[in-house]
Amino acid sequence: MGLPSLNDVIAAIATPPGKGAVGIVRVSGNGSLELVSRLWQGKSPSRLRGGRFTYGKIRDPRTQEILDEALLLVFRGPHSYTGQDSAELHTHGSPAVLRRVLQTLFELGARPAQPGEFTLRAYLNGKMDLAQAEAVLSLVESESEAARRQALRGLSAGLSRRIAALSEQLFSLLAHIQAWLDYPEEGVEPARIHETLEPALREIQHLLATAPAGRIAQKGARIALVGAPNAGKSSLLNALLGYERAIVTPIPGTTRDYLEAPLEIAGVPLVAIDTAGLRETEDVVEQSGVERALQIAQEADLILYLADQSQPLPPPPALPWERTLKVATKADLPAAWSSAEYLEVSSQTGLGLEALRQHIHQRLLGEAPEGEIWVSNERHVEALRRAEAHLQEAQGAPEDLAGVSIEMALDALAEILGKDVSEEVIERVFRNFCVGK
C-alpha cells in the first residue's frame, strides 16, 4: 500500500467517540493554517504564535452558518508534534458538532487522516524514533499505573538512549576491527573483542530479562486461585478485591464454574480467577468444574494454591509448582499444620494479605528494577534476541567474521529505533493506532 504523502493537509477527530464536555479536531500539514482560516471567525491563525489559544467561531464558508463557538490552538513547524504547521479546534463535545466541523474541513481540501498518521509524521519528520512512536500507542492503551509509567519512560526515550549507547559501543569496536584489518602495517593493536562484547551482551541480556515484567505491565496477568473445596478461594478473592464478588458459604462445592474479576496490585493489572474446588466427585457438573479449574491453572501466569490451615493438609494436586505460590488460609483459626513453604493469610482479619500482595508482585515481575525501562514490545524483544545471538557468534570468531556478526547485531538494534526499516515494518507499527493520534 505504501506510506501516505507527508504534504497533504490531514484532519481527524482526536477525542474518543461519544458525548463530552470538549471535543478536539486536529489538523496538520503544509497549508493547514491557511485552510483552517477559511472556516475560522476570529483572530487569524496566521497571526497566532505557536502554542497559543484564541477564542472565536467556526463557520461554514459556503453557507456562513455558525457551527460552534470554539478555541483554536496553533502549533508551528518544526516545533510541533508532527514537525509541521498544525492546529487544533477545541469545540463542544457533541458528536454532531465534531462531525460537521470535520466534514467542512474535508470539503475545504483536507483529507481524512489514516490511523496513527499524526504520529507517523512525527516519526518521519525526525521528531521521535520508532520506539518512541510505539510508546505513544502504549501510553494511549495503558490501563494500569505500571503500564502508564513504562510507556512514559519509552516516550521519554528511556529505551532509545540505552539502545543508542549500546550501538555506539559496538560501532567503536567495529571501527577498531576494521582499522586493524585494513592497516596492519600502521601498528593498530588487535581489538579485544571478547572483553569489549561482554558488557554489551550483559546490557542486552539485562533488557531481555525485563521482558516478562514488561509484558505483564502492558497486558496484565491471570492468577488462578485453586485448592480443595472450602479452602477459602472465594473469601480470598473477595478480600483481594475489597468487595463481595464471589458467593461464600460453608457448604463445600459452592463454586462449580470459574469466576473472573479484575484487580490491580502495585500498579499491575491482574485478572483473578476463582475456580471450582479440587476433589474426586461423581457429580458430572462438579467434575467438569474441576477439570476446568486444572486447565485454567495450566494457562495462568501465576497460581495461588490454597490449603485450609485449620484442617488436615490434603495431598497436593498436579500443578506447575514453579509458578505456584502456596497459601495457608484461615490463619485466624487454630492450626492443624504449619509449613514454611506456605504464606499464612486470613481473609476475615486481613492477616498476611499485604504480604501476599507483595509476593504476587514479586513473583510476576521478578527482579525487574522498578525505576528502569522494561521491554514490553515483542518487536523489540525479537530484535534484541537477534542482536544477542550475533554478538555471541562474534565472541569466538576470527576478526573478519566477528566484524560481520557485529554489523548484523547493529542492524538488529537499529530496527528498534526505526533506522533503515522497511515500509512494511512501519505500516505494521502504525496500523494499530487510532485515527487522530
For the sheet containing 221-227, what is the strand order? 259-265, 268-274, 221-227, 302-308, 324-329, 343-344
Structural domain of 305: 221-365
Is 202 part of any domain?
Answer: yes
User: What whole-number distance in Å separates Cα of residue 400 and Cα of residue 394?
Assistant: 9
Q: Where are the beta strands (DSSP E) in 208-249?
A: 221-227
Beta strand pairing status for 86-93 and 259-265?
A: unpaired
User: What whole-number distance in Å separates Cα of residue 83 and Cα of residue 125?
Assistant: 6
Q: In CATH, what number is assigned to the domain containing residue 287? A: 3.40.50.300
pLDDT of residue 188: 53
Q: Do 191 and 321 lie in a common domain?
A: no
Beta strand pairing status for 221-227 and 302-308?
A: parallel
User: What whole-number distance in Å separates Cα of residue 54 and Cα of residue 69?
Assistant: 11
Distances (CA, A) of 417 to 68, 83, 199, 315: 42, 18, 21, 52
User: What whole-number distance in Å separates Cα of residue 325 and Cα of residue 330?
Assistant: 16
Q: In CATH, what number is assigned to the domain containing residue 94? A: 3.30.1360.120
Q: Do 260 and 311 lie in a common domain?
A: yes
> By the 8 A CB rule, do 406 and 394 touch?
yes
- Residue 82 neighbours by CB distance under 10 Å: 25
Distances (CA, A) of 220 to 136, 142, 213, 365: 18, 10, 9, 11
What's the chain's length in residues? 437
Q: Do 251 and 320 lie in a common domain?
A: yes
Is 216 part of any domain?
Answer: no
The values of phi and psi at residue 206, to 5°, are -65, -40
Q: Do 108 and 183 lie in a common domain?
A: no
Q: Rounded to an integer, what is the distance from CA 367 to the centroid of its chain?
A: 19
Q: Do 240 and 332 lie in a common domain?
A: yes
Q: What total of structural domains would you count in the chain?
A: 3
Distances (CA, A) of 339 to 123, 129, 326: 56, 52, 10
Q: Kindly state the DSSP code that residue 323 receives in the 8-state scheme.
A: G
Is 134 part of any domain?
Answer: no
Q: Residue 242's beta-bridge partner residues? A: none
> By the 8 A CB rule, do 117 and 111 touch?
no
Is 384 part of any domain?
Answer: yes
Q: In CATH, what number is assigned to the domain containing residue 380? A: 1.20.120.430
Q: Kindly state the DSSP code that residue 336 receives in the 8-state scheme.
A: S
pLDDT of residue 431: 84
Q: Do 260 and 329 lie in a common domain?
A: yes
Is 437 part of any domain?
Answer: no
Beta strand pairing status for 259-265 and 302-308?
A: unpaired
Q: Where are the beta strands (DSSP E) in 43-159?
A: 52-59, 66-75, 86-93, 111-112
Q: Do 305 and 183 lie in a common domain?
A: no
Is 406 part of any domain?
Answer: yes
Q: Do 109 and 188 lie in a common domain?
A: no
Q: What are 25's three cell numbers?
A: 479536531
Q: In which residue are the cell numbers 530479562 written?
A: 209
Is 280 part of any domain?
Answer: yes
Q: Do 273 and 309 lie in a common domain?
A: yes
Is 80 part of any domain?
Answer: yes
Q: Do 359 and 393 lie in a common domain?
A: no
The residue from 365, 384, 401 where one domain ends is: 365
pLDDT along the chain (437 residues), means of 10: 84 92 95 95 88 94 95 94 96 95 96 94 94 92 85 91 94 81 59 81 94 88 92 90 63 62 86 86 74 90 95 91 95 93 94 94 80 89 96 86 91 93 88 85
Exposed/middle/buried for residue 79 (C-beta within 10 Å: 0-12, 13-18, 19+): exposed
> By the 8 A CB rule, do 293 and 328 touch?
no
Q: Do 232 and 293 lie in a common domain?
A: yes
Q: Do 242 and 361 lie in a common domain?
A: yes
